[in-house]
Amino acid sequence: MDIRLARIDDRLIHGQVATVWAKEAGAKRIIVVSEEVERDEIRKTLVKQAAPPGIKVNVINVEKAIKVFNNPKYKNETVFFLFTNPSEVLEMVRGGIPIKSINIGGMQFKQGRKQVTKAVSITDNDAVAFKQLVSEGVELDLRVIASDAKGNFEEKMKEAGF
């Protein structure tokens, strides 16, 4: 399986992802890896309906994503992994999935989160997961839109008190 892009964006498939990031990735399949979304039939259906034309979408949990990645049947697939949080990215990496860089696009502000940038708010657990991803050798690529310059997410977390 050829991972073209891995992105955290809790809005999942929306205008920017469907039109710009999907094209940027050049993948034939978007795999949403989220335990929460996988269990929510309405949200899962909406995510699939928002898919760009010609791109298949699957919504699965981490365990199944690891199995699919390692299944020889899918070795020629080009994929765009989409996540809602860094903990599931970390599970994938620790499960042997070679994610070298994670694009951090959007994590909305809500109760219990602290704002890091205009588009990214995280919990203490998210901060721990991001730091562990760095220790696993994963680049944290902070870009809301594809034309943005890469931002230093580690520095932004320090500035925010993490």
Comparing C-alpha atoms, which of 4, 2, 6 is closest to residue 26? 4
| Active-site position among 14, 28, 114, 143 | 14
Instruction: Say how far apart CA 111 and CA 51 lie, in whole Å.
Output: 29
Cβ 24 vs Cβ 80: under 8 Å = no
Told to judge if 14 belongs to the known catalytic residues of this protein, a careful annotator would answer yes
Which residues, other chains included, contact 60 with Cβ-Cβ below 8 Å and sequence gap of 6+? 31, 32, 33, 38, 68
Could you list the active site residues? 14
